Every structure is written in structure tokens, then in C-alpha cells.
Amino acid sequence: MRNFDEWLKTMRPSINQYDYYVDFNKVYENVEAMKVELNIMNSLIGSKNIEEDIKKLIERYPEVIRCIPTLLAVRQTEIYAQDAEGAFNYNFKEMNYSVDQYIVFMGKTGLLDLIANHLINNLVDYCLGIEVGLDSNGRKNRGGHQMEDLVEKYLVEAGVEYYKEMYLTEIEEKWGVDLSPISAEGKSTKRWDFVVKAQDNIYVIETNFYGGGGSKLNETSRSYELIASKMKEVNGVEFIWVTDGGGWKSAKKNLSETFDVLDTLFNIQDMEEGTLNRLFAYGKSGLFDL
């Protein structure tokens, strides 16, 4: 029998890899895509008559408006702004107001002052910094994929037949199994992170990593405890939950309850010790006897 408290101690505080922090390739690509426009705008740096100069520039090179949202650290191509003089929804892909109105926008947002007063030397370098900052918003997605990538690495090492992001209905159709207890008699569509077809069983796998605490952990644990209970009504299919992270130490009660009913609840150390390999090769009888 496994000991929950000892197992909990093996949870990792983080699984962040070197490329988690900034995707520099994406940063460079985004800046490269508007490098011509930014270099055209560079001619305005230090302008003594910024409004007149930028009006001439936009009239001659209207495409330069494409880079304005990035100069404000905004991703979308439409920006809404309002004050006592009215409300406007500026389109920076295709101009929907006069050039003068776009100059008003740049003036009121502070861009004209930034450019004219030489607070920066090069808009390309400035946008590189902005893109690095914006890319930090992608860390949440990269963090979620890191755990999936880690689990997939061990599935590859196990040499098993596996599928990514497979829906419950697809499993039923492919192998002729009845998952109605899990789907509430067909009312729910569930997508599993991985599905493994081993010799004697089908294994459906959920993965996640929680570096911090919060109510979501308790909800997840209760949800997976219910799945584990319902899966006992299904022949030929086993549920595996692979999770890790220091966040579980603040939600140990609910996790402990799931641990007691789901003997295929694993963490990273379990995978490192070959637990998945033994499970797929020998079934549950091979889990903890080696």
C-alpha cells in the first residue's frame, strides 16, 4: 500500500523549462513582421513638428498604422477609446477614420510625445521589449503544455500505442466500449489528454500541474474522484490521473480522498520510477510489486 503523506512529499515545486519564460522566436517573428513600418516611423523620432510630420507620413505610407497597437502593448487590431469629445473604435488594419483622427488617438495615448521627445532611440528595439512583455501572457499556456509534454515523453519511452486529445465518443467508436457511465448516458462529451491502447485495457489519461493553490484544485480532485468511481462500471477501460505541483500541499484533504479510491493516481516521480511502463505491460498487478 502506498502512503499518501510520503507520496505528497515527492511533489515538485515547478517543472518550468528554459523556454517557459520567453518564446524569443515568436518575439523575433512578431517584430520582423512589422520591421519595415517601424523603421519608417523611426524617421519621426525627435520631430519638432510631430503632428504635421506624422500626417505626411501616414498619407504617404498608410500601412504604418499597423504597428501602432504594438507600440501601446496591445494585441488586437481594433482599439476602443473615449473621452468627453466622443467614443471611437479605431481599426489599425484598415483605417476607418480620417488621418487627423488617428493623430488625435496617438496624441491622447501619449505616443506622439514618446516619439517626438526622443524618449526612445529606435522603435524596433522598443517593440522587442514590448513583445517580450506581451509574451509573458503565454506562460500559462506553455505551463499547461509542459506537463502534457512530460507525460508524453514517458508514453513514448513505454512504446505503447497512444492518442492525444481524444474524445469519449471517439474511444467508443474506435474500440466498441461503452462509456455511458462517464458520459451521463451520452449527455456529456469528455476529451482526454491521452488515450493508451495496451494489451488488455484502454487507459484514459488526464494530466495537470499546480504550482500554486486555489479552489480549482479541490474542484479537480472531486471531479476525478467521481470519474474514478464511475469508471469501475466500465469494462476494459482504466482511468489514470497524472498530477504534480506544490499547490497540492494546500489542498491535500481532497487529493487524499481521491488517492484512496484511485490507485492509478501518479506524479512525476512515479513516472520516473517506471510505474506507467509496469502498468501498461502487466496491468495493475505490476504497479507496486517491483
The CATH number of residue 251's host domain is 3.40.91
- Integer Cα distance of 275 and 76 in angstroms: 46
Pick from 137, 169, 196: which residue ends a domain?
Answer: 137
Based on the fold, state whether residues 282 and 159 are members of the same structural domain: yes
Domain of 132, in residue numbers: 18-137
Based on the fold, state whether residues 124 and 30 are members of the same structural domain: yes
Based on the fold, state whether residues 281 and 151 are members of the same structural domain: yes
Residuewise pLDDT in 10s, the chain (290 residues): 789 999 999 999 999 988 889 999 999 999 999 999 999 999 999 999 999 999 999 999 999 999 999 999 999 999 999 999 999 999 999 999 999 999 999 999 999 999 999 788 999 999 999 999 998 877 777 776 899 999 999 999 999 999 999 999 999 999 999 998 887 655 567 899 999 999 889 999 999 999 888 888 999 999 999 999 999 999 999 999 999 999 999 999 999 999 999 999 999 999 999 999 999 988 876 665 54
Pick from 88, 115, 137: which residue ends a domain?
Answer: 137
Based on the fold, state whether residues 150 and 279 are members of the same structural domain: yes
What's the structural domain count of the chain?
Answer: 2
Based on the fold, state whether residues 249 and 117 are members of the same structural domain: no
Based on the fold, state whether residues 147 and 115 are members of the same structural domain: no
Based on the fold, state whether residues 165 and 272 are members of the same structural domain: yes
Pick from 137, 165, 187: which residue ends a domain?
Answer: 137
Based on the fold, state whether residues 194 and 266 are members of the same structural domain: yes
Based on the fold, state whether residues 147 and 270 are members of the same structural domain: yes
Cα dihedral 248, 251, 252, 258 in deg (nearest 10): -90
Amino acid 186: pLDDT: 55
Amino acid 290: pLDDT: 42
Instruction: List the one residue out of 167, 135, 119 whose CA is nearest residue 21.
Output: 135
- Do 15 and 209 contact (CB within 8 A), yes or no? yes
Based on the fold, state whether residues 152 and 224 are members of the same structural domain: yes
Based on the fold, state whether residues 236 and 126 are members of the same structural domain: no
Amino acid 215: pLDDT: 86
Based on the fold, state whether residues 147 and 125 are members of the same structural domain: no
Amino acid 257: pLDDT: 94
